[in-house]
Amino acid sequence: MNYHWNWRIFWEPAPNGTGNYLDMLLSGLVLTIETAICAWIIALAFGSVVGVMRTLPSKTASSVGFAYVEFFRNMPLLVQLFIWFFVLPELLPHGSGLWLKQIPNAPFYTAAIGIGLFMSARVAEQTRAGINSLPRGQKLAATALGLTTAQAYRYVLLPMAFRIIMPPLTSEFLSTIKNTSVAITIGLIELTGEARAMQEFSFQVFEAFTGATVLYLLINVVVVIAMRFLERALAVPGYIGGK
């Protein structure tokens, strides 16, 4: 293979003047984590609400929830980001559209919101599955005790459901982190974007991508370990994986 390897490239100064190439990748890593956390908060908030809606007795609520999930699940994330980034400002009235185009850091906000909403459909499906996995008796017992529907969800169903769906939520969070790389297409220079920039500046293709790969693996390992602790702490006694 006539490829010129140079692993010391990481310690050579980068042309963008912020330090060496390693700093460049690390700043991408920070942006990836920031975007992923913001997106995850949105995904959890919207996903839980929609997931609960899909299990409610009300026909309207469950069909609104169904439409929401289908809407965000059946379009590629890339297309959704394009819609938020390029199309939405044009559809708004002139003044607010212009304001939207001039927000600093627009790619960051677009990515956080777009990826958050995209993932919220998946979180909603997990929440619904968690609630539906509970024995029917739980809800019946809560109702028999005189709890309102809201109280039954707040004190009986959701605390159990969320603890049960911790493992699938972990993998959804990992997907959220990976999905932030799609935002490279709207100009967010996160980890993959920095690796690409490093490759273009230095011509060391494989070193740049290896660096990014190692950092992604690192995030995965950290998240998996952290979530394992959380899962163990929250596991429901008496269930598989419980104490």
- What binding mask, one character per residue, do residues 72-111 give for another protein by CB under 8 A, x or -? -xxxxxxxx-xx--xx--xx--------------------
Contact 71, 79 (CB under 8 A): no
Is residue 2 within the footprint of another protein (CB under 8 A)?
yes
Q: Give the helix/strand (H/E) hosting 20.
A: none
Of 1, 144, 150, 240, the one binding another protein (CB under 8 A) is 1
Stretch that binds another protein, among 23-31, 134-142, 208-216, 235-243 (CB under 8 A): 208-216
Q: Which residues contact 41 (CB under 8 A, 6 or more apart)?
A: 116
Is residue 205 within the footprint of another protein (CB under 8 A)?
yes
Cβ-in-10-Å burial (0-12, 13-18, 19+) of 21 comes to: buried
Dihedral angle over CA of 225, 228, 233, 235, nearest 10: 180
Residue 47 vs 89, nearer CB to another protein: 89
CA 86 to the chain's CA centroid? 21
Show contacts with another protein in window 209-238 (CB under 8 A): 209, 212-213, 216-217, 220
Show contacts with another protein in window 147-186 (CB under 8 A): 174, 177-182, 184-185
CA 29 to the chain's CA centroid? 15
Which residues lie near another protein (CB under 8 A)? Answer: 1-3, 70-71, 73-80, 82-83, 86-87, 90-91, 174, 177-182, 184-185, 192, 195-196, 199, 205-206, 209, 212-213, 216-217, 220
